[in-house]
Amino acid sequence: MSQTDTVSRILDAAEVLFAERGFTETSLRTITSTAGVNLAAVNYHFGSKKELIQAVFERFLTPFTQTLADELDRRVTAGQAVTVEGLLESLYRVGMGSLAAQGRDPQRFMRLLGLAYTQYQGHLRRFIVSRYGDSYRRFAGLLAQALPGLDPVTFYWRLYFMLGATIFTLSSFDAIEAILREDFGAESSLPETLERLVPAAAAMLKVDAD
């Protein structure tokens, strides 16, 4: 088994288990036995459990933010006005597409993102902000441009409302979908849900202040 093999097997197993149960509830023993590698491999290759957690986030956030940056470049240089709906579509399409292209599950990353916000892991928040804060500010800046006349504080609160609706819904997608299927017999796919989310979130961002 080559080194890269062991490293990626650990990352694969950790990604799935962290998303399912959270960080503290997932032991290194569970991760390594799922991955089929020795317990000591995590400390050998990553140093510590904390650094493993960061590596899991790095592996999906780096290509995600890179692809999003390209997508935003394309929209901006296209010359035409950047709309709220267009930006949300870009965000969701990149989240779906760039990850699905790697054969990875988009919902899993939403769950991980949700955990990054809610779990008590100071090091993780610091890691994400320092590494991906620029991408976040770029997107927020473009969205603010698409909403002229909105005062900055109101805009930022609504940005968090939008993030909350997105992360909360998609990270619990399976559970919500199961409830709707049971109550209405109607299946919902992730792309369908994102199509519902774009106009809803856009309306929330755009509503006139009163």
145 binds, among DNA, a second copy, none (CB under 5 to 8 A by kind): none
63 versus 173: smaller Cβ distance to a second copy: 173
* 60-83: burial string, b at 16+ Cβ within 10 Å, e else: bbebbbebbeebbeebeeeeeebe
Under rule CB under 7 A, residue 66 binds DNA: no
**According to the 3-state scheme, what is the secondary structure of 15-62?**
HHHHHHHCCCCCCHHHHHHHHCCCCCHHHHHHCCHHHHHHHHHHHHHH
CA 40 to CA 29: how far, in whole Å?
A: 9
Under rule CB under 7 A, residue 91 binds DNA: no
- Strands (DSSP E) contained in 66-137 are none
Cβ pair 144, 150 in contact under 8 A: yes
102 binds, among a second copy, DNA, none (CB under 5 to 8 A by kind): none
Contacting positions for a second copy (CB under 8 A): 20-22, 24-25, 114-115, 117-120, 152-154, 156-158, 160-169, 171-172, 176, 179-180, 183-184, 186, 188, 193, 196-197, 199-201, 203-207, 209-210
- Binding residues for DNA restricted to 10-49, rule: CB under 7 A: 26-30, 37-45, 48-49
The site for DNA (CB under 7 A) is made up of 1-3, 5-6, 26-30, 37-45, 48-50
